[in-house]
Amino acid sequence: MQYNTTIVSLAVMTTLLVFYFIRRRLALRSTRLFTVMIFCSFFNMCAELSTLYTIYHIDSVASQVNRLCHQLFIGSLDITIYFLFLYVDAKAHNQKRNHLLPFVLKTIPLAVSFIMVVFGRLAYHIGSDARYSYGPMAMTVYSCAALYIIGVVFLLVHHRHAFSYSVWKTILAGVTVWAAIALYQLLNPGALLSSMALMLMMVFLFLSFENPRDFIDHDIDGVMNGAAFSLMLSEYIESGKEFFIITFTLSNDKLLKTSLGYKDVFCILSSLNKNQYDITKEDAYHVKENTLCVLCRNNGSYTALLNRSSGVLPYKTDNGISVSLNYFTGILSVPQYVQTVQEVNEVIDYVSSEGIYRQEDGLLIIDDTVVVQMKRQAAIELLVQKAVEEDGLDVYYQPIYSVQKKRFVSAEALVRLKDTATLGYISPEVFIPIAEKQGIIKKLGTIVFEKVCEFSSLHNLKEKGVEYIEINISAIQGVDEKLPNLFKQIMSKYNISPDFINLEVTESASTVAGEMLVKTMEQLRKLGCRFSMDDFGTGYSNLAKMVNTPFDIIKIDKSLLWPCFSGDIRRRQEACILLESCIRLILKLNMHIVTEGVETEEQRAMLESYEVTYLQGYLFSKPIPESQYITFLDEHVKNL
Ligand code: C2E
Ligand code: CA
Ligand code: CA
């Protein structure tokens, strides 16, 4: 009967041990402490069993053996509670190691109880109802355990913010259960429930946050998850020693997901993990959808990575198709370049989404330059967001010259950030993609559209000889089915006739956006708006699309014009043939042409000889603010 609770506790504890050790554990300080704790409690239960035997066979067992068994039992109980205290202490102080003095102070009660375990007097109650030990040794040791339990409660209360609520709750509940049982045991010395109390507390802790299963990534074989990474990262950072974070980012993961499917992408990441393990010999964490991270302390894997040949991963799909996939590798030294968990996470976010790796081997040493670049990007993101929310945008106008009419019949509206003081001038080429990524491009586009309508109506641009204004729209706006109605409302609010508006859609946008864009375009065309294909010559120049999509004007990019005036004669001739043929083709299709980037009289003369309809470039004017544009128009109307 007396053996029952101990045997049950021991059985549960053995199962727990097996579950705990078959899985890979994190190398956290608290996890190491828990490992010691789980061993000590197991040992404690075995020792308790032995005391039960020796005390019930007290006449036949040597008294030294009986005392030794009790010493082992009582001593291991103390050590377990001591480690419980260190465990909570590690969690409360973000895994930080103790300095020598606090460590010594915290260990004094254990040392005292140890002396008592070795030299203290122990008596045995041999009754018909129960048999148990008591006396100064037992008392000291139980008081010491109580002291550590009070310490645990103190840590929980004092460092409340260091624990998540669920962790806090669980430890407190575990300790309360243990204390309640211990108190009952004190009042009923014959009950022998200490092993049961210990077992319950260990199960509590195991199930709530020392279960290795919680840290395994369930999608990718052999990889730990993001939660494990966060814990390990804070321990590494808290240690204050230098370490490296190596990021492995799969390129084109979105494309892979649509062409191969999620499962294959996970398999690819798993084989990327094997690949990286051969080099670094370290566990990887699945930190972002397309990114694995490795934490390492030794320079060896760093050098090995620098010397590896390329970032190419051979992979065979389930259907037996062999593909070569690219991955990018980033190496960050901490705390050399970044110091906090938040900064590390920002760097990982940044490098896993930007194409900033070396072309030849997909490698990036994340140094000061990258970190400064990242911080600037984050600052721009904030600035753009603020500009969209707080009227921080301006529209500039770049006049467009008609070759036939010999005057400025139109202008392109180009957005600018008002704030040039904080970060200097930022090109829309930089902040438009950021606005697209942040999901505020629709709002930005609407602001620009409304500003153009308001300005055109206020200054009656039509009377100044302006036939239409060109406004850039991004692909994201182009596929918004609400766009036609929205633009219609704004135009009627300012009494702008739709044929005064020409919307520029880039060549690449019209390739990507496809049918949805054509639908929006057709609705806007029905209202009377016109369209230009922007940046012709920079995308894939899908001629069939050009014919099928309702464009009125093709804007030839400067990259087709400028090579016609480059140094090398052969290249010049070839570039001229290409440009002239494009112009002839577009004119034959009955579309008008704007050539952008006209900077010299020489360029203008050549384009006029090719019968290009419109010219735009610094030769005539740079993009200028509203007031200057009005002055520009007034002067040119006068000069007519
Ligand atoms: P884009 O549509 O190709 O605009 C023409 C760009 O070429 C403008 O740059 C303009 O300043 C520049 N440019 C014009 N003539 C010359 C020249 O002779 N020489 C040189 N070197 N450059 C010339 P900007 O204003 O920096 O705009 C850059 C890009 O940002 C635009 O390229 C356009 O794609 C985008 N963007 C500008 N405003 C908006 C807008 O309101 N909405 C959207 N979605 N995109 C915009
Ligand atoms: Ca444009
Ligand atoms: Ca353009």
User: What does the pLDDT look like over 56-92, one tens digit per residue?
Assistant: 899 999 999 999 999 999 999 999 999 999 999 988 8
Place of tokens 């930005």: 444
Q: Is 79 within 8 Å of 110 (Cβ atoms)?
A: yes
Segment 5-18 shows an average pLDDT of: 91
Residue type, 315: Y
Dump pLDDT digits (tens) for 564-616.
998 788 999 999 999 999 999 999 999 999 999 999 999 999 999 999 999 99
Mutate to test the pocket of ligand 1, among 596, 604, 614 (most ligand atoms within 8 A of CB): 596
pLDDT grade for 141, boundaries at 50, 70 and 90: confident
- Say what the pLDDT of residue 391 is: 95
Residue 428 CA: nearest ligand 1 atom is 30
What's the residue count for the chain? 640
pLDDT grade for 130, boundaries at 50, 70 and 90: confident
pLDDT at residue 317 tops 80 = no
pLDDT grade for 638, boundaries at 50, 70 and 90: low
Question: Residues near 562 by Cβ (< 8 Å), separated by ≥ 6?
Answer: 597
Beta bridge partners of 385: none
Percent of the chain with pLDDT over 70: 97
Q: What is the DSSP string of 330-357?
A: EEEEETTT--SHHHHHHHHHHHHHS--S
Question: Residues near 407 by Cβ (< 8 Å), separated by ≥ 6?
Answer: 401, 465, 636, 640
Segment 305-326 shows an average pLDDT of: 76
Q: Which residues surround ligand 2, an ion (CB under 5 A)?
A: 472, 504, 534
Q: Of all protein residues, whose CA lies closest to atom 11 belonging to ligand 1? A: 623
507 lines ligand 1 (CB under 6 A): no
* Alpha carbon of 511 to ligand 1 centroid (Å): 20
* Alpha carbon of 598 to ligand 3 centroid (Å): 12
Mutate to test the pocket of ligand 1, among 396, 400, 414 (most ligand atoms within 8 A of CB): 414
- Say what the pLDDT of residue 80 is: 93
Q: Which of 266, 268, 267, 292 is nearest to 280 (CA)?
A: 292
Query: Which stretches of 494-568 are DSSP H helices?
Result: 507-527, 543-548, 558-561
pLDDT at residue 337 tops 70 = yes
Ligand nearest to the CA of 532: 2
Q: Which of 29, 66, 37, 74 is nearest to 50 (CA)?
A: 66
425 lines ligand 1 (CB under 6 A): no
pTM tops 0.85: no
pLDDT grade for 540, boundaries at 50, 70 and 90: low
- Say what the pLDDT of residue 71 is: 94
Name the residue with higher pLDDT: 170 or 396: 396
pLDDT grade for 310, boundaries at 50, 70 and 90: low
- Say what the pLDDT of residue 207 is: 79
Weakest mean pLDDT among 41-45, 256-260, 501-505, 531-535: 256-260
* Alpha carbon of 535 to ligand 3 centroid (Å): 4
* Alpha carbon of 554 to ligand 2 centroid (Å): 11
Q: Of all protein residues, whose CA lies closest to atom 25 belonging to ligand 1? A: 414
Name the residue with higher pLDDT: 326 or 596: 596
Segment 461-474 shows an average pLDDT of: 96
- Say what the pLDDT of residue 541 is: 61
Count of Cβ atoms closer than 10 Å to residue 140 Cβ = 20
Distance CA 39, CA 49 (A): 16
The first and second tokens of residue 185, run together, are 């045991």
* Alpha carbon of 367 to ligand 1 centroid (Å): 32
Q: Is 575 within 8 Å of 564 (Cβ atoms)?
A: yes
- Say what the pLDDT of residue 224 is: 93
Dump pLDDT digits (tens) for 379-408.
999 999 999 999 999 999 999 999 999 999
Segment 357-371 shows an average pLDDT of: 86
428 lines ligand 1 (CB under 6 A): yes
Mutate to test the pocket of ligand 1, among 410, 412, 432 (most ligand atoms within 8 A of CB): 432
pLDDT at residue 320 tops 80 = no
CA 343, 352, 303 angle in degrees (round to 5)?
Answer: 80
Helix/strand/coil for 398? strand
* Alpha carbon of 427 to ligand 1 centroid (Å): 9
Q: Which residues surround ligand 3, an ion (CB under 5 A)?
A: 534-535
* Alpha carbon of 23 to ligand 3 centroid (Å): 57
Residue 563 is classified by DSSP as: G
Residue 598 CA: nearest ligand 1 atom is 18
- Say what the pLDDT of residue 639 is: 57
Ligand nearest to the CA of 473: 1
Give backbone dihedrals phi and psi of 590, rounded to 5 degrees, phi first: 65, 35
Q: Which of 552, 619, 100, 159 is nearest to 403 (CA)?
A: 619
Q: What share of the chain is helix, strand, coil (3-state, %, to 5)?
A: 60, 15, 25
- Say what the pLDDT of residue 256 is: 73
pLDDT at residue 640 tops 60 = no
pLDDT at residue 552 tops 80 = yes
